[in-house]
Structure 1
């Protein structure tokens, strides 16, 4: 279980989880959106609208930023 470092309250109507991740971590890549989803398993039909967006007023648990994998290119021919 990831360490929860803070809480975040959704302040816009129907906010997308990838946009929340970008606001919190600076990017929605590198597993940041997935980390938010995993830390907030309680997100269900009552907290999301039918499109999957997170409803206004939802309080999310925010885990530590995920560690991005080493993206050094592998060049087997060298």
Structure 2
């Protein structure tokens, strides 16, 4: 079972928004941390209202990623 996915916004073949939609269709309970070089508001505005609740700005330090993952796992559904 997958509990959490770290999702980059810019990927070849399918962007982060399309990947998120596909992921939600097969595993809606999976938590998603969006990772992007864009500003948080710019990146997250591309998702539907029930989109990911977690975001980490690139480049990031490992401690920042760890804390973001912890926060996302502990966030209420």
- With normalisation by structure 1, the TM-score equals 0.24
More strand by share: 2
